Amino acid sequence: MAREEIIEKLDKFLAKYSVPDEECYVVYLLVEIRKLLEREGSPKFPLVRFYCDWTVHTKKDRSLQAIKEIVDRIDGCFSIQSHYLLKSDEIFNFLKMAELRKEFNQLFKRYNLQTNILGGDISWASFVDTLTKALSEQPILNPKAGIKSISLVPFGKGRNAINIEFTDGRTDAMVGGER
């Protein structure tokens, strides 16, 4: 399938499902975006690529470079000495997929795709809730030394959580589930 055909399919899809709120629609959207990015062969949009790949794998255990910085910031929220959460802004930004939203915005503008999904916070939150459900049983494994896994836990309505299993003596943690 040619690049132009993929863009046309994406544009029609986004017109019909301005806010994909069912798992099958979210997965379809990310698979088509993945095809487009593979067709382009460009290293741009590494976080979008990561989520596209994560969506179609039962676990994410390689090609983790795109989220290295995010994982480092999440890891920095926890103290090895105290086993307590030091700050949660990084975790809540991850749960809201704020950086993914920025990259989606750039990608949609580059390909002149409809941006309804990105427009309002309610639309984006609905998309994030649905994507979280799709990714919930698909952990990120061994993203860095000291962390065994990171999993998303869906509670819906913007109340998702992250579950982190540590291997370095820190107590495993689940953070989120709040508004």
CA gyration radius, the chain: 16
CA neighbor of 26 nearest in space, from 110, 169, 152, 176: 152
Q: Which pLDDT belongs to residue 146?
A: 92
Give the start-to-end residue ranges of the domains of the chain: 3-176
Contact 81, 168 (CB under 8 A): no
113-163 pLDDT, tens per residue? 988 888 788 889 999 999 999 999 999 999 999 999 999 999 878 889 999
Sheet holding 161-166, edge to edge: 140-144, 147-153, 161-166, 173-176
Q: Encoding tokens for residue 91? A: 């975790």
DSSP one-letter code for 139? P
* Backbone angles phi and psi of 151, in degrees to 5: -130, 145
Q: Encoding tokens for residue 142? A: 């061994």
| Residues of the chain below pLDDT 50 | 179
Query: Is the CA virtual torsion 118, 114, 27, 37 positive or negative?
Result: negative
Q: Which pLDDT belongs to residue 81?
A: 58
